[in-house]
């Protein structure tokens, strides 16, 4: 039984990578790709460039409290914002000291984009979230299920601004193609729990 689950999990993950479910028709093309904006998190390394101001341009690390230190401004909240939003806020704040500052924020190292898999899987641990990854792909990266895993009771714990959200996932329904909507996209910080 364990071998069958591993093979089906691998097949489902490969199908998910190809954009379709096992035994299902490919989703209809809408003509628009869903755009996901990168959100800065603790541990990320940022490159701040202030045009014509080399003393203000620098590489900074986002601290665990989500802040960065910027000359003239002190500590600024960076986590939870996109690079564009942070650049706009820095430009607005620097306008008190400079005439029409132009600020660009880039992410040199995205270390905050990780997800975690715990419980009865082959390789529990943390994994980089370097591209669009679904729960099936995440489970495949974690080596599939171990014997006695309760695959109908998987949950994803997601930290949001309002608190934690628990997303139930029934692998058996995914495996049978009965509810492919449970193959949700993972977000940075998500924890998949396989009891």
**pLDDT tens column, 65-119:** 999 999 999 999 999 999 999 999 999 999 999 999 999 999 999 888 899 999 9
- What was the pLDDT predicted at 188? 87
Tokens of 3: 């071998």
> Which residue bears the tokens 């729990």?
193
Residue 192 has pLDDT above 60, yes or no: yes
For residue 176, pLDDT over 70 is answered with yes
Tokens 């093309």 sit on residue = 29
All structural domains of the chain, each given as residue ranges with its CATH number in brackets, are 2-20+113-194 (3.10.560.10), 45-109 (3.30.1950.10)
Tens of pLDDT, residues 3-16: 444 444 444 443 44
Q: Please, are residues 138 and 174 in contact by the beta-carbon 8 Å criterion?
A: no
Segment 24-72, tens digit of pLDDT:
333 334 344 456 688 899 999 999 999 999 999 999 999 999 999 999 9
For the record, the structure tokens of 21 come out as 């479910």
């Amino acid at each position: 039984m364990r071998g069958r689950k591993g093979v089906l999990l691998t097949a489902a993950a490969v199908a998910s990578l190809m954009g379709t479910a096992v035994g299902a028709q490919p989703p209809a093309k809408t003509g628009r790709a869903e755009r996901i904006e990168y959100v800065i998190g603790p541990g990320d390394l940022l490159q701040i460039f202030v045009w014509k101001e080399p003393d203000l341009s620098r590489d900074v690390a986002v601290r665990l409290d989500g802040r960065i230190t910027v000359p003239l401004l002190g500590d600024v909240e960076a986590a939870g914002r996109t690079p564009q939003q942070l650049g706009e806020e820095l430009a607005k704040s620097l306008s008190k000291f400079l005439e029409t500052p132009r600020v660009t924020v880039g992410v040199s190292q995205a270390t905050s984009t990780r997800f975690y898999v715990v419980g009865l899987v082959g390789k529990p641990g943390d994994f980089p979230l370097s591209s669009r990854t679904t729960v099936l792909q995440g489970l495949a990266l974690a080596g599939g299920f171990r014997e006695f895993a309760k695959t109908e009771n998987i949950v994803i714990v997601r930290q949001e601004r309002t608190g934690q959200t628990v997303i139930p996932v029934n692998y058996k329904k995914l495996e049978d193609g009965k509810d492919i909507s449970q193959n949700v996209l993972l977000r940075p910080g998500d924890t998949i729990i396989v009891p």
